[in-house]
Structure 1
Amino acid sequence: MRSPVSVPAASLWCLLLAGALSSPTPVVRPKAVRVRQESPEPQSTACGDIIDSVNEGFAYFYATDAYDCLTSVPFNPAVATRFVDYVNTTLQFQSTLAYIKNPPPGYQQPAVDVLAGLQSIKNNVTTGVYQNQYQFEIDLQHLLYSTHDAHLYLTAGITAAFSFLAPFSITAASSDGKSLPKVYITADVIKSRNESWTPSPIKTINDQDAIEYLTKVASLNSFGGVEAHADWNQLFTMPGLDIRGERSIWDGYINFFPGDEIKVVVENGTDYLDYWLALYNEPYATGPLTTGGDFYNYFVLGLLPASYNESAGFYNPAYAINESSVPEEAAPAVNSWSEISYGAYPDPDVAQDGLAVVEDGVVSGYFLRDVNAAVLSLPTFGQTGYSIGNFSAAVSYFISNATEANITRVVIDLQQNTGGTVELAFSTFKRFFPDIDPFAGSRRRNHQLGNTLGEGYTAYFDNIPADDPRYENFVADEWVITSRLNAATGQNFTSWAEYSGPLQENDDLFSLTERYNLSSYIFDAALFEGWIPWGYTPESPADGVPRPFDAENIVLLTDGACSSTCALLVEMFTQVGVKTITAGGAPSTGPMQAVGGNRGAALYSADGLDYHIRQLSLLDVDDAVLATVPQLNDEGYRDSGVFTTVFGVNLRDQIRPNDTVPLQFKYEAADCRIFYTLDNVYNMSRLWRDAVSASFDDNALCVEGSTGYKNSSKPAPEPLLSTPSTLNFDFGEPDEFLIGDGLDLSGGLQAAGQAARSGRITLCTNGCDTGSECKDVVLKSCKAGGLPTSVKRCVPIRQGQDYCPAGTTWEKKTPHVLKTAANPLRKSAFQKTTTVWTGPCTPNSQSDLCG
């Protein structure tokens, strides 16, 4: 048994609640004594203890308790092999495989051979390397994380059950804008700003230099960043996250078990001890999951325990609906982000209708008349329904009001914008540059299954008359190419064979470059769910409309998070001469890229692939061809082995005119980089003015060595990290007691009951799976002239868009207040409650139900 240890250190969360850590005012605080009394042997009921606490209403746990549960889950090599094969088939659609393996000069992340890595994992399965399901799953997750592609992500199995997190938030800032940033407790930064004192930065974490420790955490756990600067910024809490109701990687989304204790020493000598935490992510009632075997049945095989009570409530008690919260439909919208951002955002001059964290409004505008600048804040393009129109209306209103005020300079603030609705990128660009049609070219990887889909769907579409209702259903389908333009000729492709090439680049095969035919009203309506971006079609021309601002008087402000649709917007703006400035980054001088996230053109999903395979049999495709595609089960999906909530890949690369290298792998430094400072990191008015000064007035305010990269022969800097992060399977260090030979892995298949959940949209005829509700949805009927029809479908209830099936849009509907469970053998440190939201994944169109 590990000896009890008495540590005279304060509980970090308790102190954060009482006040700031490095306050200059002496504060007398009691010393919390941590006494470890756990048994040195893992308990067979580790998972059951957590579920018991969940059923008592608790959602947060100590990380070691969650880890104890995860490592008690047994491993089945046959199931794992089927899962690896499923992943391999889906990965063939990942457009960047060759370039991740052999990146061009200037790429800032280590190379990785994804397919070879997957084969290595399969070899590990067959040779007995993995001792439990957790080891297998995190090895696969680590491989996917190492691609640094935010469109390539997997939520599946037991790793979906928990998220690890620190019990406090951190923020990085420079003291004066020139010295290298240091890391602070976020509560200190906010409190010191309000009380006019200087906080003390963190010196060490777990006896390691804070910068070195956090660099390792960022390299291992940050998601989808194309360089270390973007990875670093993901660790920190900042106002752009606050207004979206999101958390940083550090205090919300650590993927790989971080350990037990977290000891912090700040430069003024004060030290604090606390513990890593884990959030139980499953909101549904599961019945009794007593053993690791029960966890395997539910999270890996998707089976409920035999003793599951069907009369149990939809949500488990930890995710019970917060009845005291005002329902979203009645929640008053706000006209300012100030309160939710702890005073960081000022009151806006322009705001989108419904501006609120739990509403749909996200656009706000600010007029800085003292520096002749206006700020358009676009923290996300994640809009649905009428909010899409309201977003564009707010942008137009901002432009008209700024020009009427004779303001000539504009900052478009894209901090924390990780993408969303593609239509809004095209629409926003056109409102600033009505006389230009953006290029927006893309291409995909050429391989057998993709060609089979493309040939089948394109040939079927080519035989549909334009007045047939099916025409609108298929015109914008991902595998119909003759409705899209050949970028080289400006004309529609004549066949899939013309499009598919193949072109050989970097030891792989690719298609030709395609462009959306945005001048087609029918194509736009189908692609953008009925919304038509202004200025592209003859029905909505922008002829004669002047530019509201000169390109040289516009600057895009980013922070490395910009991804997907945001990356598309940045590409369109910079191609016409707009400047970029980026904030933050690792504590080093030199440049930083404006777009630090995914720069791909299309996200595709495993479920979307299954749908397209399923529909092939309805498209007059020869039986011989159908015999070459993966087989589907009775529900119409490939056998994944492991229950998979969502698996996304990057289907198409962004490609520039007369180029072959994906934009994802080009080094694109911002025109200027600035550090966040203690004065501006939680003061947006100051940050925006600093961005204006550095961009337009005084280039010397940029970080040393960060300028002069655009349109020059200056080589890209050497990567900050040249080797990939490594995963140590001895995860228990320094807590060896978590690993033992006496694990009870009972409760396997013999104790399983009915299927738990499919996570997909199904008919309500036979009832809905756990995690789904029968709801009325509006779809276009294939057999009624394409007219909208209200039908009942089982719709998955999820916690965000990333957890929804392909072809659906998440709606934030139901609030849940989560609290921590105190281990009876420890004094609870984590006292804060958190509100999370669930809601339905509503179908966008008839596509995945038609036929």
Structure 2
Amino acid sequence: MLVLLLVAASLLCLPCAFAHAVPRPLARAAATSTAAAAAAHQTICGDIIDFVNNGFNIFYASDAYDCLTSVPFDPAVASRFIDYLNTTFLFQSTLAYLKNPPQGYQQPAVDFLQGLQLIQQNITAGYYTNEYAFEADLQILLYATHDAHVALTAGALSAFSFASPFAISSVSVDGKQLPKVYVTDDIIQSPGQAWQPSAIKSINGEDVTEYLTKFAALNSAGTLEPHADWNQLMTSPALDIQGSLSVFAGAATFYPGDDLAFVFENGTELDYNWLAIYDNPYPTGPLTTGGDFYNYFVLGLLPASYNETETFNPAYAPDSSTPQNSSSNSSSNSWYDDSDGAYPNPDISQQDLSTAGSGVVTGYLLHDISTAVLSLPTFQQSGWSVGNFSLAVQETINHGTAANLSRIIIDLQQNAGGTVELVFSTFRRFFPDIDPFAGSRRRSHELANVLGEILTGYWDNLTTNDAEYSIYAANEWVITDRLNAATGRNFTSWSEYFGPIAVQDDLFSLTERYNTSSEIFDEAAFNDWIPYGYTAENPAVATRPWDPENIVLLTDGLCSSACALFLEMMTQAGARTIAVGGRPTTGPMQAAGGNRGAVVYSADELDNDISFASSLNQTNSASLPQNRGDTGVFITYAGFNLRDQVRPNDTTPLQFKYEAADCRIYYTLSNLYNMSRLWRDVASATWNDPSLCVQGSTGYTSSHNTTAKAPPAPLAIQVPSLNPAIPDHVDFNLNATGDLTDGRTTPSSRSSTIVPCGSDKSCQEGAICSTISIKCSTGSLVERDLCLPPCRKTNTGDNCQGANTFCNANQQLKTKLATIKISSTNANNAFSPGVWAGFCNPTVGTPALGCPA
């Protein structure tokens, strides 16, 4: 059971910060209160680590939960953590809109800063009795923002993700009937067989739709409506090819209970157990008790007996056949094998295409329907792959136009964003005559003003010959290298930009635009790449390859961040959208159901800005936080949305606008794992037969000079009920192999940053020495030997520490399930989804990584 801890209703009430009900956890049976059980509870974390050190990475959820609830709680550490987060999230651009969202917003309101205050009140009142209860409260509050740029990987909760033993998918039989939920493997295996898959009727005695709706409300993260929440639970080929797991089958954050009982429509009954994936790829050294677990995961401290030469965590050790570099050198040029045959062999593919490789772009020429398909499952690229991505996009356009194909589908399923330069470049290849608006603004407050005044002033006083001039040209706090959207000219000062403008009971800056015609800005903003079509150095071809009415963008509602920016640019230019999937209901669905902000920013980046600004201006720096190094809890990553994306002459962030797709279709039994069929269904619904669109899903956009229908009312979703009982009170003085501390002294601290390899190509803490290409400020790509820490992508981010990094998942782990309390003879221990892991890669070259200073 996840416990969202509350003092009696008459005292402190965390849900009072929310305008609607906060997602509640599923109930769990009370723990057995025997002495033996209590003793086992205290050592369960050590049992898990022992299994990890023997190569096991899958556990029963009940064992993981018992471990998490045995981790002690220190209110002093938690208070420092909340204080750190409170300052950090003053920079979150959407606070006022979250508190009082406009009509059409499909999720509940939340007063985020008040929520932090109420958690602090609970800490002060002594209500939290273990670390898990505290962190669960905090993560629920973060999830209530429904903002994919708001993310936190920290503390005990970062140790595990929860998983069903197998994946599920939601499909319609014929595209007209409402979808039902099936085991994904049944859908994949049934075509051509003498049997039809049977849909799931109930889970744990509850109607399957009701159960999954509640599960999604609790565990789906960063999405703007229940349709997108629902699609996060489901598996699809576009997810498979990226080596990722659905929320239901491997990326759930909160403990869902022990038992998982399915009843199918054909009467079959299957009993399973919920599982947990151990997410920490680093060697921990010996951990025995919940106290040891606290020291490592919460404080970031290594045990005194930790061996610094220790190599891989055995559960995450790479296969000896896996190349020790950042790409797979794969000779496969097709997703066919990685997708169970869903994707056909492409006509065009990006170099190094494979789940383990760096290539992601594929192009297809459907001559029978005169349609090209450009598949872009992500914009996340680095090094040489950025250029290779654009080459594959252009090659697809060239082949499509040379073949006189009359239209194109741009497939953005599962695209969660990535490299912004690729968005600007890709857009310009379709609309070379349009300068995209891409306007944004940020929240105006005192700390932001001090940073902007200091860093903009510093940059303005540099000369073009100063090395720092180009390095800081696109710094978030340097505004005079950006355009005032109202005038089209550069801002003259920070004070001109800062405003403030009063909107929605908050203060905001003026709207800014990127100065993409400036090569100096482009190189600084886009890691030394010059986007196609904006400068004299890299001009665009004058002719559009297709008219906008012959371009449709396909999404599953999970288009987020850079993908949402691309969708906005393309639709403003006249392209159409079609959404697929969603809840088993009729009606519209939004095309970009993920984050629609302008930029994600990390707490690390903010801390570096504050430190640098303080070193430049001793007078004004007194207004800045003085001890940002004391985070309380060890943070791998904390992110927030720094700037809103806004349209011309509009003040409402795109994050809070209802933006339905022009048409919605269902996944079907015949098209879910058959991309050729799906693309033809998309083409038919878009250009030939609008009756194929889901009933009631059209008319919500203002295209073709029509007035859009009003947005649907938000759903009143019943979420799991709260069981406030705590299995055990965990004393902070619980014995530990090493002494428990308050985190202020760190005899040996964890680190997962990317650093150059040693002279003998040695690395520590499970990292590998790998030769990778990085873009330096000199404008050239260089190869450097870097220690790349291991990582695994989860629902809250990944294990990569610091800004400008990403997890390059390039190996599929051998999954081994440990049976600590549940006998393997008494439980179904299969885990069919694959677990992919890899190594952290940098997106930016710096002197610290070997670039010229």
Aligned to 1:624: 619
Aligned to 1:718: 712
Mark the CA change 1:589 to 1:96 in structure 2 (over 3 Å): closer, same or farther: same
Which of 685, 692, 698 is matched with 1:701 structurally?
A: 692
Aligned counterparts of 2:539 and 2:756: Cα–Cα separation in 1:
42
Q: CA deviation at 1:808?
A: 3.2
Mark the CA change 1:847 to 1:479 in structure 2 (over 3 Å): closer, same or farther: farther
Aligned to 1:396: 394
Aligned to 1:691: 682
Aligned to 2:8: none
Mark the CA change 1:396 to 1:88 in structure 2 (over 3 Å): closer, same or farther: same
Mark the CA change 1:459 to 1:694 in structure 2 (over 3 Å): closer, same or farther: same
Q: CA deviation at 1:344?
A: 1.1
Which of 803, 820, 823 is matched with 1:826 structurally?
A: 823
CA deviation map 1:504-536 (0-9, x unaligned): 110000000000000111211111111111110
Alignment partner of 1:839 is 2:839: yes
Aligned to 1:754: 747
Mark the CA change 1:355 to 1:773 in structure 2 (over 3 Å): closer, same or farther: closer
Q: Mean alpha-carbon deviation: is it higher for 267-276 or for 465-474?
A: 465-474
Aligned counterparts of 1:440 and 1:641: Cα–Cα separation in 2:
37
Aligned to 1:100: 98
Aligned to 1:407: 405
Q: Mean alpha-carbon deviation: is it higher for 722-731 or for 136-145?
A: 722-731
Aligned to 1:16: none
Mark the CA change 1:277 to 1:769 in structure 2 (over 3 Å): closer, same or farther: same
Aligned to 1:602: 599
Alignment partner of 1:562 is 2:545: no
Aligned counterparts of 1:558 and 1:671: Cα–Cα separation in 2:
11
CA contact (8 A) 1:301 1:642 kept: yes
Alignment partner of 1:659 is 2:659: no
Alignment partner of 1:670 is 2:665: no
Q: Mean alpha-carbon deviation: is it higher for 252-261 or for 465-474?
A: 465-474
Alignment partner of 1:679 is 2:670: yes
Mark the CA change 1:268 to 1:726 in structure 2 (over 3 Å): closer, same or farther: closer
Alignment partner of 1:248 is 2:246: yes
Which of 445, 448, 468 is matched with 2:446 structurally?
A: 448
Aligned counterparts of 2:226 and 2:698: Cα–Cα separation in 1:
18
CA deviation map 1:97-153 (0-9, x unaligned): 010111100110010000011100000000011110000001000000011000001
Aligned to 1:320: 317
5+ residue gaps, structure 2, are 1-31
Q: For 1:700, give the aligned amino acid.
A: S
Equivalent residues in 2 for 1:283-362 (5 A)?
A: 283-311=281-309, 313-325=310-322, 331-362=329-360
Aligned counterparts of 1:136 and 1:748: Cα–Cα separation in 2:
23
Q: CA deviation at 1:478?
A: 1.1
Aligned to 2:169: 171
CA contact (8 A) 1:814 1:839 kept: no
Which of 513, 518, 521 is matched with 1:520 structurally?
A: 518
Aligned to 2:805: 808
Aligned counterparts of 1:776 and 1:337: Cα–Cα separation in 2:
26
Equivalent residues in 2 for 1:719-738 (5 A)?
A: 719-722=713-716, 725=719, 728=722, 730=724
CA contact (8 A) 1:296 1:748 kept: no
- After superposition, the CA RMSD in angstroms is 2.7
CA contact (8 A) 1:630 1:638 kept: no
Mark the CA change 1:811 to 1:341 in structure 2 (over 3 Å): closer, same or farther: closer
Aligned to 1:439: 437
CA contact (8 A) 1:110 1:721 kept: no
CA contact (8 A) 2:284 2:302 kept: yes
Aligned to 2:27: none
Mark the CA change 1:709 to 1:136 in structure 2 (over 3 Å): closer, same or farther: same
Q: For 2:563, give the aligned amino acid.
A: C
Q: Secondary structure at the match of 2:546?
A: coil
Q: For 1:127, give the aligned amino acid.
A: A
Equivalent residues in 2 for 1:608-647 (5 A)?
A: 608-619=605-616, 621=617, 623-632=618-627, 637-647=628-638
Q: CA deviation at 1:696?
A: 0.7
Q: Secondary structure at the match of 1:234?
A: helix
Mark the CA change 1:235 to 1:690 in structure 2 (over 3 Å): closer, same or farther: same
The TM-score, its normalising length taken from structure 1, stands at 0.89
Mark the CA change 1:179 to 1:294 in structure 2 (over 3 Å): closer, same or farther: same
Aligned counterparts of 2:128 and 2:754: Cα–Cα separation in 1:
34
Aligned counterparts of 1:54 and 1:489: Cα–Cα separation in 2:
59
Equivalent residues in 2 for 1:27-106 (5 A)?
A: 41=38, 43-106=41-104
CA contact (8 A) 1:446 1:502 kept: yes
The TM-score, its normalising length taken from structure 2, stands at 0.89
Q: Secondary structure at the match of 1:454?
A: helix
CA deviation map 1:674-724 (0-9, x unaligned): 011111111111111111111111111100110011115444443453368
Alignment partner of 1:799 is 2:792: yes
Q: CA deviation at 1:613?
A: 1.1
CA contact (8 A) 1:152 1:648 kept: yes
Q: For 1:274, give the aligned amino acid.
A: Y
Q: Secondary structure at the match of 2:642?
A: strand
Mark the CA change 1:169 to 1:330 in structure 2 (over 3 Å): closer, same or farther: closer
Q: CA deviation at 1:285?
A: 1.6
Aligned counterparts of 2:613 and 2:732: Cα–Cα separation in 1:
47
Q: Secondary structure at the match of 1:57?
A: coil
Q: Secondary structure at the match of 2:294?
A: helix
Q: For 2:278, give the aligned amino acid.
A: Y
Aligned counterparts of 1:353 and 1:300: Cα–Cα separation in 2:
41
Mark the CA change 1:73 to 1:330 in structure 2 (over 3 Å): closer, same or farther: closer
CA contact (8 A) 1:72 1:744 kept: no
Q: Mean alpha-carbon deviation: is it higher for 164-173 or for 465-474?
A: 465-474
CA contact (8 A) 1:174 1:675 kept: yes
Equivalent residues in 2 for 1:461-476 (5 A)?
A: 461-476=459-474
Aligned counterparts of 1:241 and 1:765: Cα–Cα separation in 2:
36
Aligned to 1:588: 585
CA deviation map 1:604-644 (0-9, x unaligned): 0000011111111443x1x2211221124xxxx52110000
Aligned to 1:32: none
Aligned to 1:817: 814
Aligned counterparts of 1:333 and 1:605: Cα–Cα separation in 2:
36
CA contact (8 A) 1:227 1:719 kept: no
Mark the CA change 1:574 to 1:790 in structure 2 (over 3 Å): closer, same or farther: closer
Mark the CA change 1:575 to 1:731 in structure 2 (over 3 Å): closer, same or farther: farther
CA contact (8 A) 2:600 2:642 kept: yes
Which of 721, 731, 734 is matched with 1:745 structurally?
A: 734
Q: CA deviation at 1:777?
A: 8.3
Alignment partner of 1:574 is 2:571: yes
5+ residue gaps, structure 1, are 1-35, 733-737
Q: Mean alpha-carbon deviation: is it higher for 329-338 or for 579-588?
A: 329-338
Aligned to 1:24: none
Aligned counterparts of 2:773 and 2:569: Cα–Cα separation in 1:
34
Mark the CA change 1:164 to 1:574 in structure 2 (over 3 Å): closer, same or farther: same
Aligned to 2:179: 181
CA contact (8 A) 2:94 2:644 kept: yes
Q: CA deviation at 1:666?
A: 0.3
Q: For 2:574, give the aligned amino acid.
A: G
Aligned residues: 801
Aligned counterparts of 2:609 and 2:272: Cα–Cα separation in 1:
49
CA deviation map 1:734-776 (0-9, x unaligned): xxxx547899822186267832313345688999874556778
CA contact (8 A) 1:261 1:273 kept: yes
Q: CA deviation at 1:790?
A: 8.6
